[in-house]
Structure 1
Amino acid sequence: MKLLIGALAVVLLAGCLDEGKRSEGLVNATKQAEEVVIATNSPDAAVKSWWSVKDAGMLLDREACYEYERLKSPTIEKLKSLASSDLPIGKVCIDDLLSFDRKITKVKIESDTRAVVMAVIKNSTPPEPGAELGDRDREAKELGEQYRYTLERKDTSSYWQISRIENFPSYARDWQDAYTKPTPSNNRYVYEQLQ
């Protein structure tokens, strides 16, 4: 997926998808993302704004993926002609958008410049047709995951910014960073999807 997003970014930066050539879905998703209003006047407002931008980003990613898929169609069609029906070739994009039920459970102001927002987030997307949802999966889906957002600001006249996001997945024993800084690649892997 990182490879797909990276390739798409290159295409977008190269100007291949100027306003006149973009699909209506991509134009609308871009407009919707641009129109998201953010609020940073309180820790909980900043977290809710973060969620709004993330949701708009998922829609934009999907529509951009459709454009990428369309641009790749010459190679996809040739690969399909070389592969049997047992080899999954072609569809890269996911049609159904993921949806999440997010609820702030606690806001703790630790000082004038630091706050912690606790939340429970559930994946409210229905299972795909044919997917199995066992009792443990169903229970985990219903419980969701705990998230902890740490926010900071320079002083009382500054706006709040998220400085750390942690989650507590059902399989974990402690909080984990949800966002980690990427490390440089040693390019050791062959990447099966490119072979």
Structure 2
Amino acid sequence: MSRARGVLVLLLLAGSGIAATAWLQRFATPLIATQQKALQSQKILSLLLPGSYDNQPLDQPLALAEPQLATSRLLAGYRATRAARPSAILLHSQVQGYGGPIQLLIAIGANGKLLAIKPLAHNESPGLGAQIALTPNPWLASFAGKSLGNPAEPAWALKKDNGQFDQLAGATLTSRATVSAVHDALRYFDEHRAQLLGEGAHD
């Protein structure tokens, strides 16, 4: 009798454990998903200055026409607004680096000038191309204020390629890929300005 009672207790405990696990999973999964979304949003939107937007850009991704560009591909796009006026366009770009794909988030102001660039993922070599992920990153910061016409088209290249831009030390391919991706993004913005900024946008 005691053995049967012991087995029954074990079964009850096992059943309670399974029920508790299912309950926790049911209620914890949405919370975890919400927290992960918040962290991803914070990671992406940290590229924009506080107070420069008052919407939730990631909640309304843009439909990007012809995302395959000359040397890179656009994976996503978002519009930041302030007082219902466009303040920035965020373009999630992917370009082939030395060690594999490099994913960049490129922020472009409504006036077509680069605001900031942030690497989201890469497989570049430690100590070389991986420098692209350093924070702060003076090299990426040097792109701020540039636009499609500043510098002129031929200058959108590394100095060793007769262009205007320095490179990350020892990381020619990483640097070249980044410059090309940024130039692609600016060209795309210029060609699709009306669609990206939306109707009634002000340059």
* TM range, smaller chain: under 0.3
Please, what TM-score do these two structures have when normalized by structure 1? 0.21
Structure with greater helix share of residues: 2
Structure with greater Cα Rg = 2
Please, what TM-score do these two structures have when normalized by structure 2? 0.20
